[in-house]
């Protein structure tokens, strides 16, 4: 991962600064934007269409994280959101994931856990900070392809190369490779052929835009 842009949403300036410093270890080039309210977060997300991830505090002055999640999902469907909470409440965890969060982590977690969570989510996986049995349940129930990963999968089904997929949907070849890796993990496949077979068994089909050149 050479560069990444993340939005941190928390009403405490010291928390935002602390998270920003931790996130600097993610990549060679890390840009961290900050917002103290959900309204500011929505405005920044509109202005920065190249955001890779949002770290969203559960308790904010203008609305809760649960109230903000459906708005993020509707306005920015491809932007993953990691919810930060001071609570280990399993009910809130499930509510957040059902509302569209890509992950849920406690603020008391160590720096390495936060970095691990962010990396997993950027790779298209779900991350939760919870007891092991709950993690297994969450991964089984909420694991899903993102809208962008589904577009990449369509390209794989159409027999396109990574470069051609990137050209089709307007992303870099490196980003396509990241999505392909996540797709293989999602289908428990060792290669593209296995992924295509499993995807078609689950109802996915090549698109009408299949390359016949």
Query: How many C-beta atoms lie closer than 10 Å to residue 61's C-beta?
Result: 9
Do domains 3-142 and 147-201 share one topology? The answer is: no
List per-residue pLDDT tens for the chain, 213 residues long: 568 999 999 999 999 999 999 999 998 899 999 999 999 999 999 999 889 999 999 999 999 999 999 999 889 877 889 999 887 777 888 888 888 888 889 887 768 889 999 988 887 777 887 655 666 666 666 667 777 888 999 999 999 999 999 999 988 887 888 788 778 877 878 889 999 999 999 888 888 655 444
- The pLDDT value given to residue 72: 92
Q: What is the DSSP letter of 8?
A: E
CATH number given to 147-201: 1.10.10.10
Cα–Cα distance between 177 and 166 in angstroms, integer?
9
At 137, which helix (H) or strand (E)? helix 132-142
In 3D space, the residue among 23, 3, 33, 32 whose CA is nearest the CA of residue 178 turns out to be 3
Packing angle, helices 90-98 and 132-142, rounded to 10: 20
Full DSSP string of 26-43: SSSEEEEEEESSHHHHHH
Does domain 3-142 correspond to CATH entry 3.40.630.30? no
Q: Which residues lie below 8 Å from residue 213, measured CB to CB, with a gap of 6+?
A: none
Distances (CA, A) of 54 to 107, 136, 212: 15, 24, 39
How buried is residue 2: exposed, middle or buried, by Cβ count under 10 Å (0-12/13-18/19+)?
exposed
Cα–Cα distance between 195 and 99 in angstroms, integer?
28
Q: Which residues lie below 8 Å from residue 166, measured CB to CB, with a gap of 6+?
A: 172, 173, 175, 176
Q: What are the boundaries of each domain within the chain?
A: 3-142, 147-201
């Amino acid at each position: 991962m050479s560069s990444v842009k993340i939005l941190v949403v928390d009403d405490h300036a010291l928390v935002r600064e602390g998270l920003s410093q931790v996130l600097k270890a993610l990549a060679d080039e890390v840009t961290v934007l900050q917002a103290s309210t959900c309204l500011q977060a929505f405005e920044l997300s509109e202005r920065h269409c190249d955001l890779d991830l949002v770290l969203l505090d559960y308790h904010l002055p203008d609305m809760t994280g649960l109230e903000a999640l459906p708005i993020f999902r509707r306005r920015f469907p491809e932007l993953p959101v990691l919810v930060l909470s001071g609570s280990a409440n399993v009910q809130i965890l499930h509510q957040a994931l059902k509302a569209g969060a890509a992950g849920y982590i406690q603020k008391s977690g160590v720096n390495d856990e936060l970095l691990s969570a962010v990396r997993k989510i950027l790779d298209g996986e779900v991350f939760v900070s919870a007891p092991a049995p709950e993690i297994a349940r969450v991964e089984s129930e909420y694991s899903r392809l993102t809208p962008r990963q589904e577009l990449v999968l369509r390209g794989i089904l159409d027999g396109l190369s990574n470069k051609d997929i990137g050209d089709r949907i307007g992303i870099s070849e490196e980003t396509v490779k990241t999505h392909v890796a996540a797709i293989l993990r999602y289908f428990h496949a060792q290669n593209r052929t296995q992924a295509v077979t499993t995807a078609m068994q689950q109802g996915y089909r090549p698109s009408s835009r299949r390359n016949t050149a």
